[in-house]
Amino acid sequence: MSKPESNTSSEEDLLTQITEGNEKAFSVLYTTYWKYVYNSAYKRLQNCQDAENITQDIFLNIWNNRKTQKIENLKSFLYISVRNKVLDLIAKEKKYVELPEYIELFEQSSSSPAFQAIYKELLKEYKKQLEELPPQQKLIYELKFHENLSSDEIAEKLGLSVKTIRNHLGKAKIKLRASFFPIYVLALLHI
């Protein structure tokens, strides 16, 4: 995700005008940067509503704290604000992108050698953790996330109740999330 092009002196002028309460300057700032903030949040959360809420919170924070908050580098401020809001939301709501989706997002996020090395390690660890699940949990998890079957379809295929399927999925997710949470947070900071 590329950051919007800007002229540092015009950013400084905008921020000065905003500090003085100039609503038009704030409108220009919002129009210029809302998409960058929204896309950064969406890329990390994969949820439109949460990305919109974070975008609104960040710009509301800029306006409400305009007299006390000194912003020296706008792009860095926005990047860090998005990162912090995303981490706050994850901690508050225990929101996680499902691991298979997260691994796909991570794979697509960069083609740099360092990212690819991290991705390979992540995938290797994911496969290892998947292998350590009890056989029935592993089968159900793979049917759900690798073959994209619904809980009802899995229940029918395996002759089990939907509740049993959901219980196995919940236990598998808990184990995999616990194993991957530190890597997930680290990657969120860098995607």
**Where do the domains of the chain lie, and which CATH numbers do they carry?**
8-93 (1.10.1740.10), 99-190 (1.20.140.160)
Alpha-helical segments (H) within the chain: 8-19, 23-45, 48-64, 74-93, 99-109, 113-131, 135-145, 151-158, 162-190
Residue 49 has pLDDT above 70, yes or no: yes
Residue 187 has pLDDT above 70, yes or no: no
Average pLDDT score over residue span 33-48:
89
Residue 108 has pLDDT above 50, yes or no: yes
Q: The pTM is what?
A: 0.50
Average the pLDDT over each of 63-72, 77-86, 134-143, 173-182 and give the range with the smallest value: 173-182
Of residues 119 and 171, more confidently modeled: 171
- pLDDT, residue 171, reads 86
